[in-house]
């Protein structure tokens, strides 16, 4: 490297390289003021030397620094001895400060700081490890890895294990200097501000004063001014608004850049393919890797240079008392990155939209409650002279006796709360609501994409964010015809084989779920006979107090639902690991592709796991039972279940409530209580230490790590809930209300968990919710079909309407006589011997004078010419059901597509701002190049300068820089 020496005042000639390092025991293993060999480059009076690259080497980088960074002189100032003297003064002050600081005892330093011991260089990342007795190989890996990190330009500082609370953990602190940040910001095309936003905001919310109690302080909602941004270009650094190079890149951007380097830096010189912090974590070389929180969550940092944004998030966002407040999305994005910010924006918007569905669902439920007394068919069932005189056929073989219809009085009344005319209206409403939700979310997402500089982000990620695992495992290379560079690729044969194995594994696990569901169905068929035998005389004989509310059908449904829920939880735990394993086996190319593949696998499994039992109750139970004398059997001996005269809808409601509520309660316990208990146990020793000794990296080390799939599980939980409130909402209008209450808690639980219980995640970008958007669209379309079938085949709405308008014998539009009309007659003498009740199973009131029993169907009575064949009324009802499904689906889909066409995905205001920003980028870049050319021509004409001044000395060429890039 070329050097220029000069005289500063009375001092002799001095010389220093900025890449040299200063080695001092109290300063750690690496400092920018000592040479690579470890010898000090300070003069006799502690003065550092100044090294300036030759003019030839600076010609390509003369504009790499912002005007604000050139605070000592104008950009075109000649490099004179006075200039060197000025530069040397700043370096001298820094070196003297570091030398003085080195003599200070470590215990006097702020342990809650996020800076190196010099108090100047920010800690951008922390690596921790335990020095094992038999860890020579790990030591060698760490030595090589850290040396390569230094070659890549990162600065390191180690905290000895004697300073840790357990006495055996080392902490390696990493700092990225300006040159490294600028280089990788250029590579990653990170957008930075170049001009203040000059478009006035004319948007006004009507009656804005009403929202005052729900708003947060403006400083919290908008922590940064609004700027026009452009991708960073290192060679045009003075084009951007750089006021302070130390704070120009936010901490989240800094840790994202450092993690990019860590993930691609090799840890051995023998095999360059062995690289990345992920592999070092998996083989135990390092125990953890994480960026630091900027303060404690319950109070601000004592260091005035720390932003204490974590404290602001906890105060205004993560406490439950703020449940009615808006979310500080810009601060969340600034602290955690865009990917987490998008999740909370979606969750908040979803919760807002749920409030409308919850209100309408509550109105439908209240309608069923208010029309409770007008329920004619329930009155007939409960009437002693009608329902009490109707003898029903046994519901199972041998163990079930004959029973009276009025024993289902309670379930009939309960069913009316959800099975009424309001159900049809609500099913149609939810089909339209889900469309509005998705369309308005697209608009909100488009606005966030612009405000958070995510426009055109996906294309950049596809090109730049290759997974290190893909680069490592794909040893074959081929020419990329677009970039004209050699790149790794996975051969087609290997890709096909891996895909086939992955698909076979997914099918196997789905088959396992179906087998478990069949087992639960067999349980329902087997235990129903036992419950019926127990309750054969009267529900209150053996079950006091609540016995009048429990029927054999309800008891069977509740116990089966609980067992099914336990099976669901067990299968979930098993399949999570399988899904991750088979996704890793496929070796996806990019992080986006990896997440999308895993998302599809996990959702497909969860869909079958959670919804299959609901699909069984809704569309299969009671539909294929046959009739007395010709029943349908499962496995040749278990008779299929029947729906009681009140319908299967109440059983679907029971199944939905148990699975949905159980999942939400278990999810909140798992998300909040488990991390808290683990953190409480892990930090039990440190809690006894004085606060001054419990340093920031140890505090964060004791927290739970936020894995790569942490946000994936949050999305999965909410999308499964979305399926419950859309696919089966016709059976339970209160489902959106339950989901609303859960989500109000969920937002704050997630915020509290992220802020207090987890280490700070590595910031990452995402322009949308990814593959979840297409999954939501698919669920929305499927929900229209399922709700139409629920109303038609699970509910009794259509048979009642057909009876009232076509078969009412009194000539009035009433439901009188409906129960008698909907039950067919069967002769007891024709029941096969193997199906007849055993002696003692029949109730006391049953005698030989009873010759017929009733069952739920539309068939001709015994003695008719078409005995036990379906009547014409059955075919009329079937036609009405099919007609309803067709009409409802076409109406809802027509409205859905019209609404989707009517509402543009991107607001016109956002389109205008995007066009304005692109125009300004082109205009400003053009003017910048013109001014740059003028300055160069002026400089060459008058020969006043040979090269532009340089404030920030560039780093030397690094051996592994190209590999990390």
Q: pLDDT by residue (tens digit) across 319-336?
A: 888 888 889 999 999 999
pLDDT at 689: 57
pLDDT at 62: 33
Beta bridge partners of 704: 758
pLDDT at 535: 61
More confident residue, 204 or 959: 204
Inter-residue long-range contacts of 740-743, CB under 8 Å, 24+ positions, other chains counted: 740/351, 740/354, 740/355, 740/357, 740/358, 742/664, 742/668, 743/347, 743/350, 743/351, 743/354, 743/718
Mean pLDDT over 912-924 rounds to 81
- CB contact at 8 A, 672 and 746: no
Mean pLDDT over 126-155 rounds to 87
Q: pLDDT by residue (tens digit) across 711-766?
A: 888 898 899 999 999 998 888 899 999 999 999 999 999 999 999 999 999 988 88
Distance between CA atoms of residues 531 and 524, nearest Å: 10
pLDDT band at 313 (very low <50, low <70, confident <90, very high): very high
Q: pLDDT by residue (tens digit) across 490-530?
A: 788 888 888 888 889 888 888 888 888 888 888 888 777 77
pLDDT at 48: 37
pLDDT over threshold 80, residue 305:
no
Distance between CA atoms of residues 502 and 496, nearest Å: 10
Tell me phi and psi for residue 110, to 5 degrees: -70, 120
More confident residue, 642 or 8: 642
Mean pLDDT over 666-694 rounds to 71
pLDDT over threshold 60, residue 44:
no
> Which residue has 């029941």 as its token pair?
831
Which pair of tokens denotes residue 248?
């120009």
- CB contact at 8 A, 830 and 369: no
pLDDT at 330: 92
Closest of 871, 817, 813, 797 to residue 387, by C-alpha = 817
pLDDT band at 592 (very low <50, low <70, confident <90, very high): confident
Which pair of tokens denotes residue 303?
């260091």
| pLDDT > 90 in the chain, percent | 18
Distance between CA atoms of residues 595 and 347, nearest Å: 19
Q: Angle at the Cα of 718 (from 717 to 722), degrees rounded to 5?
A: 120
pLDDT at 965: 59
- CB contact at 8 A, 955 and 153: yes
pLDDT at 482: 67
pLDDT over threshold 70, residue 22:
no
Q: Angle at the Cα of 66 (from 60 to 67), degrees rounded to 5?
A: 115
pLDDT at 23: 39
pLDDT over threshold 80, residue 827:
yes
pLDDT at 666: 81
More confident residue, 135 or 267: 267
- CB contact at 8 A, 605 and 580: no
Beta bridge partners of 24: 28
pLDDT at 747: 92
pLDDT at 782: 92
pLDDT at 502: 87
pLDDT at 209: 63
Mean pLDDT over 906-916 rounds to 82
Average pLDDT, the chain: 77
pLDDT at 201: 64
Lowest mean pLDDT among 87-101, 136-150, 666-680: 87-101
> Which residue has 């059976």 as its token pair?
731
More confident residue, 956 or 229: 229
Which pair of tokens denotes residue 170?
């080392």
pLDDT over threshold 50, residue 612:
yes
Distance between CA atoms of residues 751 and 761, nearest Å: 13
Which pair of tokens denotes residue 345?
């924006």
pLDDT at 271: 65
pLDDT band at 202 (very low <50, low <70, confident <90, very high): low
Which pair of tokens denotes residue 723?
């399926």
- CB contact at 8 A, 653 and 731: yes
Tell me phi and psi for residue 944, to 5 degrees: -80, -20
Which pair of tokens denotes residue 386?
């009608």
Longest dimension (CA), the chain: 128
Residue 475 CA to its chain's centroid (Å):
33
Is this model's pTM higher than 0.85 or not? no
pLDDT band at 111 (very low <50, low <70, confident <90, very high): low
pLDDT band at 674 (very low <50, low <70, confident <90, very high): confident
pLDDT at 908: 83
Which DSSP string corresponds to 637-694?
TEEPP---TT-SHHHHHHHHHHHHHHHHHHHHIIIIIHHHHHHHHHTTTGGGS-GGGS
Closest of 587, 709, 609 to residue 663, by C-alpha = 609
pLDDT at 38: 36
Distance between CA atoms of residues 50 and 88, nearest Å: 6
Helices then strands, each counted (H, E), the chain: 30, 16
More confident residue, 813 or 152: 152
Lowest mean pLDDT among 103-112, 230-239, 473-482, 617-626: 103-112
pLDDT at 520: 85
Closest of 843, 777, 841 to residue 404, by C-alpha = 843
Mean pLDDT over 64-79 rounds to 35
pLDDT at 204: 59
pLDDT band at 194 (very low <50, low <70, confident <90, very high): confident
More confident residue, 825 or 39: 825
Which pair of tokens denotes residue 587?
């070796």
Q: Angle at the Cα of 172 (from 170 to 176), degrees rounded to 5?
A: 175
Distance between CA atoms of residues 158 and 356, nearest Å: 55
- CB contact at 8 A, 117 and 106: yes
More confident residue, 679 or 362: 362
Indicate the DSSP class of residue 386: T
> DSSP strand E in 232-383: where?
288-290
């Amino acid at each position: 490297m070329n050097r220029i020496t000069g005289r500063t005042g009375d001092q002799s000639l001095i010389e220093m390289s900025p890449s040299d390092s200063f080695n001092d025991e109290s300063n750690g293993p690496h400092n920018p003021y000592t040479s690579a060999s470890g010898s000090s480059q300070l003069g006799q009076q502690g003065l550092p030397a100044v090294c300036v690259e030759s003019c030839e080497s600076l010609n390509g980088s003369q504009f790499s620094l912002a005007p604000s960074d050139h605070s000592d002189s104008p950009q075109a100032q000649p490099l004179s001895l006075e200039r060197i003297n000025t530069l040397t003064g700043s370096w001298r002050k820094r070196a003297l400060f570091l030398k003085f600081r080195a003599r200070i005892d470590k215990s006097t330093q702020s342990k809650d700081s996020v800076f190196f011991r010099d108090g100047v260089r920010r800690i951008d990342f922390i690596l921790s490890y335990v020095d094992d007795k038999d860890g020579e190989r790990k030591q060698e890996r760490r030595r090589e890895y850290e040396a390569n990190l230094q070659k890549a330009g990162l600065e390191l500082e180690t905290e000895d294990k004697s300073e840790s609370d357990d006495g055996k953990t080392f902490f390696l602190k990493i700092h990225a200097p300006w040159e490294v940040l600028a280089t990788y910001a250029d590579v990653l095309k990170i957008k930075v501000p170049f001009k203040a936003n000059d478009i006035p905001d004319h948007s006004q919310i009507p009656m804005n004063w009403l929202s005052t109690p729900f708003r947060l302080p403006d400083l919290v909602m908008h922590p940064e001014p609004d700027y026009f941004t452009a991708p960073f270009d290192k060679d045009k650094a003075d084009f951007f608004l750089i006021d302070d190079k130390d704070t120009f890149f936010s901490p989240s951007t800094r840790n994202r850049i450092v993690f990019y380097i860590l993930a691609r830096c090799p840890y051995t010189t023998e095999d360059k393919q062995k690289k990345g912090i992920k592999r070092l974590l998996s083989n135990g070389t390092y125990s953890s890797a994480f960026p630091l929180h900027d303060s404690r969550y319950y109070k601000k940092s004592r260091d005035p240079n720390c932003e204490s944004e974590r404290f602001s998030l906890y105060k205004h966002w993560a406490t439950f008392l703020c449940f009615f407040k808006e979310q500080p999305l810009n601060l969340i994005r600034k602290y955690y990155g865009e990917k987490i910010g998008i999740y909370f924006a979606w969750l908040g918007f979803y919760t807002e939209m749920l409030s409308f569905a919850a209100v309408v669902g509550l109105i439908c439920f209240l309608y069923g409650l208010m029309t409770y007394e007008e329920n004619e068919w329930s009155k007939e069932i409960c009437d002693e002279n009608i329902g009490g005189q109707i003898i029903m056929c046994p519901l199972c073989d041998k163990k079930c006796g004959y029973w009276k219809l009025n024993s289902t009085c309670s379930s009939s009344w309960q069913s009316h709360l959800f099975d009424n005319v309001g159900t049809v209206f609500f099913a149609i409403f939810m089909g339209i609501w889900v469309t509005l939700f998705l369309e308005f979310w697209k608009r909100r997402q488009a606005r966030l994409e612009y405000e958070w500089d995510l426009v055109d982000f996906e294309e950049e990620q596809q090109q730049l964010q290759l997974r290190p695992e893909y680069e490592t495992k794909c040893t074959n290379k081929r020419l990329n015809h677009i970039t004209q560079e050699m790149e790794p690729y996975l051969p087609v044969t290997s890709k096909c084989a891996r895909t086939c194995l992955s698909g076979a594994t997914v099918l196997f696990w789905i088959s396992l779920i179906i087998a478990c569901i069949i087992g639960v169905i067999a349980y329902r068929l087997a235990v129903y006979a036992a419950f019926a035998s127990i309750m054969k005389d009267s529900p209150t004989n053996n079950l006091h107090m609540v016995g009048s509310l429990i029927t054999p059908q309800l008891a069977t449904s509740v116990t089966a639902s609980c067992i099914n829920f336990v099976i669901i939880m067990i299968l979930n735990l098993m399949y999570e690991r399988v899904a991750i394993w088979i996704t890793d086996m496929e070796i996806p190319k990019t992080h986006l592709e990896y997440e999308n593949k895993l998302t599809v696998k996990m959702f497909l499994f969860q869909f079958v796991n959670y919804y299959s039992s609901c699909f069984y109750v809704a569309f299969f139970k009671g539909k294929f039972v046959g009739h007395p004398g010709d029943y349908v059997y499962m496995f040749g001996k278990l008779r299929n279940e029947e729906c009681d005269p009140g319908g299967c809808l109440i059983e679907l409601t029971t199944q939905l409530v148990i699975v949905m509520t159980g999942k939400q309660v278990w999810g909140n316990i798992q998300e909040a209580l488990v991390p808290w208990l683990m953190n409480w146990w892990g930090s039990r020793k440190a809690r006894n230490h004085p606060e001054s000794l419990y340093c920031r990296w140890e505090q964060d080390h004791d927290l739970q790590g936020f894995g790569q799939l942490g946000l994936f599980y949050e999305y999965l939980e909410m999308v499964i809930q979305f399926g419950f409130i859309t696919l089966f909402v016709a059976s339970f209008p209160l489902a959106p209300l339950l989901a609303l209450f859960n989500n109000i808690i969920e937002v704050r639980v997630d915020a509290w968990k992220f802020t207090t219980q987890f280490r700070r995640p590595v910031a990452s970008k995402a322009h949308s919710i990814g593959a979840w958007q297409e999954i939501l669209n698919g669920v929305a379309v499927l929900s229209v079909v399922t709700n139409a079938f629920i109303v038609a085949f699970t509910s009794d709405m259509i048979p009642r309407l057909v009876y009232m308008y076509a078969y009412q014998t009194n000539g009035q539009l009433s439901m009188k006589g409906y129960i008698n009309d909907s039950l067919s007659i069967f002769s007891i003498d024709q029941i096969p011997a193997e199906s007849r009740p055993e002696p003692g199973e029949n109730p006391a009131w049953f005698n030989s004078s009873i010759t017929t029993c009733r069952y739920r169907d539309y068939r001709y009575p015994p003695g008719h010419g078409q005995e036990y064949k379906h009547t014409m009324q059955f075919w009329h009802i079937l036609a009405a059901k099919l007609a309803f499904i067709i009409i409802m689906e076409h109406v809802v889909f027509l409205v859905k597509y019209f609404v989707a066409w009517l509402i543009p995905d991107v607001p016109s205001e956002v389109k205008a701002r995007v066009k304005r920003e692109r125009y300004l980028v082109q205009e400003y870049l053009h003017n910048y190049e013109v001014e740059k050319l003028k300055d160069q021509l002026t400089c060459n004409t008058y020969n006043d300068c040979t090269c532009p001044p340089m404030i920030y000395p560039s780093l030397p060429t690094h051996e592994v820089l190209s590999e990390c890039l």
